Amino acid sequence: MVSGVARRRRGATLSGPGHHTLRAVDPDLEMVTRLRTGDEEAFVTLVSRYQQPMLRLARSFVPSQAVAEEAVQDTWLGLVRGIERFEGRSSFKTWLFRILVNRARSAGTKEHPAAPTEALHAVDPSRFNAEGQWADPVDRWVEESERRLDAATWSPILKAALDDLPPRQRQVVLLRDVEGLSHDEACAVLGISVGNQRVLLHRGRSQLRGILEAKMGKG
């Protein structure tokens, strides 16, 4: 029926000729392999695994929950119909989210064709070192706040704080801090530069930290 994708790792491959080597640690590897054999239960498992994260991400692009649900449904249909075009150069999650973002952006444009986009100033390249890290590191999350953030990721307080972030900041925070994507993966999903991703992530984290510390009595 369908096939899946996963990160390439040494020693792990998809069955069939011409498929790329997969990265063995990808948590979706087993489901990917089963999907390529037409196992519908594997597809159901992936839907169960990613439906809610996809809805959260789609909602940051579109004006209503109903439109977000349509974008997610369209993404799953696209997965079924176009899976053979996947070349195995990214993880299943990254590839799936990239499809979703394309569809959500299209749906959001149809709903609000003249909606303004969030302004983002360019970042002076001198603020980064040769490795692409901040030359003057931004403030770190306080350790206790990090533990509480991990323990209560989708508590009402955090969900409300995330929902209040500007859309582009929310998208980066969701991908990096909730879904665990690397900066390269987040940039690939959203189609933005590493510099802009760093700025958006810092701004989003800073706002979230302020809200959470105030709620935790640290403000």
Per-residue confidence (pLDDT) for residue 32, from 0 to 100: 73
**Mean local confidence (pLDDT), 108-112:** 62
Q: How far apart are CA 101 and CA 57, in angstroms?
A: 8
C-beta separation of 153 from 145 below 8 A? no
Q: How far apart are CA 165 and CA 162, in angstroms?
A: 5
Per-residue confidence (pLDDT) for residue 107, from 0 to 100: 85
pLDDT > 60? residue 17: no
Q: Alpha helix (H) ranges present in the chain?
A: 29-35, 40-59, 65-82, 92-111, 143-151, 156-164, 167-173, 183-190, 194-215
Q: Return the higher-pLDDT residue of 212 and 67.
A: 67
- Nearest-10 crossing angle of helices 183-190, 194-215: 110
- Report the mean per-residue pLDDT for the chain: 74
Per-residue pLDDT band at 117 (split at 50, 70, 90): very low
Going by C-alpha positions, the residue among 60, 103, 99, 95 that lies closest to residue 185 is 95
Matching residue, tokens 């969900």: 159
- Phi, psi at residue 43, to the nearest 5°? -65, -45
pTM of the predicted model, to two decimals? 0.69
Per-residue confidence (pLDDT) for residue 151, from 0 to 100: 52
Per-residue pLDDT band at 89 (split at 50, 70, 90): confident
Q: How far apart are CA 111 and CA 100, in angstroms?
A: 16
Per-residue confidence (pLDDT) for residue 123, from 0 to 100: 46
pLDDT > 60? residue 115: no
- Number of neighbours of residue 96 by Cβ within 10 angstroms: 24
Matching residue, tokens 């498992």: 45
**Mean local confidence (pLDDT), 117-122:** 44
pLDDT > 80? residue 105: yes
Give pLDDT tens digits for 159-201.
Answer: 888 888 999 999 999 999 999 999 999 999 999 999 999 999 9
Q: What's the gap between Cα 12 and its chain centre?
A: 24
Q: How far apart are CA 198 and CA 215, in angstroms?
A: 26
Give pLDDT tens digits for 25-82.
Answer: 677 878 877 777 778 898 899 999 999 999 999 999 999 999 999 999 999 988 877 7
Matching residue, tokens 């980064």: 128
Tokens of 216: 């935790």
pLDDT > 50? residue 21: no
C-beta separation of 104 from 71 below 8 A? yes
Per-residue confidence (pLDDT) for residue 2, from 0 to 100: 43
Per-residue confidence (pLDDT) for residue 43, from 0 to 100: 86
Residue 175 gets which letter from DSSP?
Answer: I
